[in-house]
Structure 1
């Protein structure tokens, strides 16, 4: 019984390692927070960062489900994850992407927003996505796509994950001009800057080493 408590409980004798139950709650909570940020962005017509941004652009162009595009766009990155970051990271990331996609699609059925300001929404959504990604990173998972690459580059070369994502996001947001007004794109840029600065400041391997 004592061994089971140490393995599955909320405590652990090895302070630097999460239990399976801790990983499960961390991934679920982080995916829900990230999904709320993505849902707010979709309600305001904004473009998110990373592969979510690509999925939003395709969604706005075709009208096909954002969740479907988000899942498909992430598929090629799982190979990099499996080869460079291991099976556990890949499986947890796959689960996080699936959960985030499902929750993002479901949220409009539970939350109705009557009025929304794009710039304020971009800042709030950026913070929510930052918290979601930070939680996933600390449980050795991500929201797929460039997040996988960012985690690998930070682990391998010490490059800040937030700065890697910001560079990629700026490229994606240039493409957003095809589906959104300049004002909406600028608001989306503000959201991406808030998100990635949040990660740059808060996600440092020398400060948080739990796995």
Structure 2
């Protein structure tokens, strides 16, 4: 005779659809909770990116590469970010499942749109650079944490980081930090050295925040 917890889990499984199991249980978010979490996470991430961009700084991952290309070519950041993330959907759907891929695609699309239009709706009159680097990194960290906890990511390195954490137990924040530092080294091609150093500071704040707060043994929602 199955226990109550097993019965609830079996009922949730029966309700699963072809995009993955989004039924609400003690360890899973409902679809509406996922949508709200993804919208909130992308909004916080977009605000952090807007703050860093207003200072001429960068962040890591695909967003960092998109910043480099934006500064070098003048191309729209949101469009470049969206295109750079396309190849990572193959890894996401092959290794992380269709639900994760669909939610990540939603997050990337929303983030691309928000960052594309943010210059028209958000302007920062004055931000002290060190403070801006730390706050921008922290905002992006909060946004990514919200996405991770709803089994989504902002694409690119986030997909790889979650895969490695699920497969090998590597901390997602530390994986992102290693990749982000490599990306920021290339930023010397696009921005002054001082901006690169402050961008590194922002990346450290972002990824240390994730390393401390995103742990599968502390948060079980899927």
User: Aligning the two structures, in what range does the TM-score lie when normalised by the shorter sequence?
Assistant: over 0.9
- Give 1:92 shift: 0.4
96-105 or 54-63: bigger deviation: 96-105
Distance in 1 between residues matched to 2:24 and 2:136, nearest whole Å: 36
Instruction: Tell me, yes or no, if structure 1 residue 96 matches structure 2 residue 136.
Output: no
Do structure 1's residue 166 and structure 2's residue 170 form an aligned pair?
Answer: no
Q: Which residue number corresponds to residue 53 of structure 1?
A: 64
Change (3 A) 1:57 1:13: closer
Contact 2:24–2:30, Cα closer than 8 Å, also in 1: no
SS of equivalent residue, structure 1 residue 173:
helix
Runs of 4+ in structure 1 over 6 Å off: none
The alignment of Structure 1 onto Structure 2 pairs a total of residues equal to: 202
1:28 to 24, 39, 53: 39
TM-score when normalising by structure 1 = 0.93
Give the corresponding residue for 1:3: none
Instruction: Give per-residue Cα distances to partners, 1:49-103, cap 9 Å, x unaligned.
Output: 1110000000000000000110011111110001000011011001101101111
Aligned equivalents of 1:37, 1:112: Cα separation in 2: 12
From 173, 176, 183, the counterpart of 2:194:
183
Are 1:115 and 2:116 matched, yes or no?
no
SS in structure 1 opposite 2:198? helix
Unaligned runs of 5+ in 2: 1-14, 16-22
TM-score of the two chains, using structure 2 as the length reference: 0.88
Structure with bigger gyration radius: 2
Do the aligned partners of 1:46 and 1:118 also contact (CA within 8 Å) in 2? no
Q: Distance in 1 between matches of 2:187 and 2:129?
A: 15
Q: Which residue of 2 aligns with 1:65?
A: 76
Q: How does 1:128-167 map to 2 (within 5 A)?
A: 128-167=139-178
Alpha-carbon distance in 2 for matches of 1:160, 1:13: 26
Between the aligned partners of 1:164 and 1:130, the Cα distance in structure 2 is: 14
Q: For 1:95-115, what per-residue CA distance to the aligned partner results, in whole angstroms no more than 9, with x for missing partners? A: 101101111122222222122
Instruction: Supply the distance in 2 between the matched residues of 1:194 and 1:164 (Cα, whole angstroms).
Output: 14
Q: CA RMSD in A?
A: 1.4
Equivalent in the alignment of 1:44: 55
Instruction: Give the deviation of 1:13 after TM superposition.
Output: 6.4
- Rounded Cα–Cα distance in structure 2 between residues aligned with 1:172 and 1:184: 14
- 1:4 counterpart residue number: none
Bigger mean CA offset, 96-105 vs 132-141: 96-105
Match of 2:216 in 1: 205
Give the Cα–Cα distance (whole angstroms) in 1 for the partners of residues 78 and 213 of structure 2.
Answer: 28
